[in-house]
Structure 1
Amino acid sequence: MLTIHGVTRSRASRIIWLCHEIGIEFEQVPVIQAYRLPDPDAPDAPLNTRSPQFLALSPASAIPVIEDGGLILSESMACTLYLARKYGQPFGPADPQEDALMMQWSFYAATAIEPDALTLLYLHGSGKTLSASDQAAVRNAAERLIRPLRVVENHLATHSHMVGGRFTVADINMAEVLRYAQSFDPLMERFGAIQAWLADCQTRPAFQKMWEARNAEPA
């Protein structure tokens, strides 16, 4: 059975969502991020990314990690792309061209969008009163996101999905990155096609199942 190491309140959400879409059974080991704990090295600390048994599996000290047979794989998008290829259509590529496009959009999300989207999540999404420097960081991140989000917006204005005219792993990878910026209305209200597509993605039963499990975890 597939094993997913990592709490759902992490990039493991992408893998879990895909597993629900495909119908893959999995065991989840709830490894939590060390930075969320007051003392991750304490003897009674829960299993976390600095726990020796997890470091033996992931020297990078990062979740998620999957185990599938003899394969140990880290990096969430590598995991989703691997599983999509293994289990095939409709969520995986039909041919090398679709495979390349799924990688293209996944890597674009990870490199051009995710860093600044995470800034919006961690600062604006925190619900805390922001310092002047944090407010500036939010404004700058939102400004930098306009160009890559315009690329995605223009694509979705003429395509129902990221690749192949159907819902695939590329939609999951992109949607989970864009979710980080989703609550920042001054930015997202400029991109109607993205908003409509995100709403469609997030009403899928598999997303809702993942989201329910995520919300059941401690914040």
Structure 2
Amino acid sequence: MLTIYGVYRSRASRNYWLAGELGLPFKSVPVIQARRLDDPNAADAPLNTISPAFLRINPGGLIPCIEDDGFVMNESLAINLYLARKHGGPLSAQTLMEEAEMLQWTMWAATEVEPHAVRIVLIHDARAAETDEGRQAIRLSTRALRKAFALLDARLAATGHVVGDRFTVADLNLAEVFRYAMTETELFEAAPNVKAWLAACQARPAFKAMFKTRLEEAE
């Protein structure tokens, strides 16, 4: 049985979505980010990322984390690559070259896109988007993302997918990274293939089920 540690309002959403795509039965253990709690060390605090019980599972104190038949792993995007390869099917690589491309695009998204996109989310979450400092930071992050959007837009022009001619774990991983930038509509208007691709990814039943649970989860 696969166990996923982490709340839906975290990067664990990626793993919950993939589990849904693969039809995997799993146990969900909610582990909340310690930064969201006034006193994560309180006796009545919910299980969180600095709780001793969780640190025994993942000493790094990061969510998501999975335990799969005794194998413990963290890093959400890497977890998805592992699960897709283990369970096979159309979401996984069918050739060595596809596997290499899935790894390449996932690492690209994590290093070149996610830091800028997450910065935008954090500014909005802090309700700082209307301050001069916040607007300037969003402008800088948006500017940094233009090249990445243009690159992915060109990649999607042929088949509408990141790797091959079908929806794969690479699409899912990138869709969850690019989702962070959805408030900046001008980026998507300038990259129509990215806009259409993200809408198609988010129209999938497994995404809708995951996101419904995410919205129902306490903030």
Tell me which interval the TM-score lies in, with the shorter structure as reference length: over 0.9
Q: TM-score, normalised by structure 1?
A: 0.97
Q: Which residue of 1 aligns with 2:145?
A: 145
TM-superposition CA deviations, 1:156-192 (whole Å, max 9, x none): 1222211110001000000000000012113222111
Return the letter of the residue paired with 1:47.
Answer: L
CA distance 1:195–1:127, change in 2 (3 Å): farther
Asked if the contact 2:4/2:67 (under 8 Å) is kept, the reply is yes
Offset, 1:124: 3.3
Return the letter of the residue paired with 1:183.
Answer: T
CA distance 1:41–1:168, change in 2 (3 Å): same
Q: Which residue of 2 aligns with 1:205?
A: 205
Alignment partners' CA distance in 1, 2:198 and 2:175: 6
| Aligned CA-pair RMSD | 1.2
Q: Which residue of 1 aligns with 2:83?
A: 83
Asked if the contact 2:128/2:134 (under 8 Å) is kept, the reply is no
Return the letter of the residue paired with 2:160.
Answer: S
Q: Which residue of 1 aligns with 2:181?
A: 181
Q: Which residue of 2 aligns with 1:215?
A: 215
Larger mean CA deviation between 125-134 and 70-79 belongs to: 125-134
Alignment partners' CA distance in 2, 1:163 and 1:125: 32
Alignment partners' CA distance in 2, 1:64 and 1:8: 9
Larger mean CA deviation between 128-137 and 166-175 belongs to: 128-137
Offset, 1:127: 4.8
Say which SS state the counterpart of residue 8 (structure 1) adopts.
coil
Offset, 1:44: 0.8
Return the letter of the residue paired with 2:8.
Answer: T
TM-superposition CA deviations, 1:82-141 (whole Å, max 9, x none): 000001121111111110011111111101000000111121355555322221111100
Q: Which residue of 2 aligns with 1:116?
A: 116
Offset, 1:66: 0.3
Q: Which residue of 2 aligns with 1:25?
A: 25
Alignment partners' CA distance in 1, 2:15 and 2:209: 13
Structure 1: which 5+ runs fail to align?
none
Say which SS state the counterpart of residue 4 (structure 1) adopts.
strand
Return the letter of the residue paired with 1:105.
Answer: W
Q: Which residue of 1 aligns with 2:8?
A: 8
Say which SS state the counterpart of residue 123 (structure 1) adopts.
helix
Q: TM-score, normalised by structure 2?
A: 0.97
Say which SS state the counterpart of residue 27 (structure 1) adopts.
strand
Return the letter of the residue paired with 2:38.
Answer: P
Return the letter of the residue paired with 2:178.
Answer: L
Return the letter of the residue paired with 1:84.
Answer: A
Alignment partners' CA distance in 1, 2:122 and 2:129: 12
Q: Which residue of 2 aligns with 1:61?
A: 61
Aligned residues: 219
Moved segments of 4+, more than 3 Å: 124-130
CA distance 1:129–1:82, change in 2 (3 Å): closer
Asked if the contact 1:40/1:51 (under 8 Å) is kept, the reply is yes
Calculate percent identity across the aligned residue pairs: 47
Q: Which residue of 2 aligns with 1:191?
A: 191
Return the letter of the residue paired with 2:190.
Answer: R
Alignment partners' CA distance in 2, 1:56 and 1:135: 41
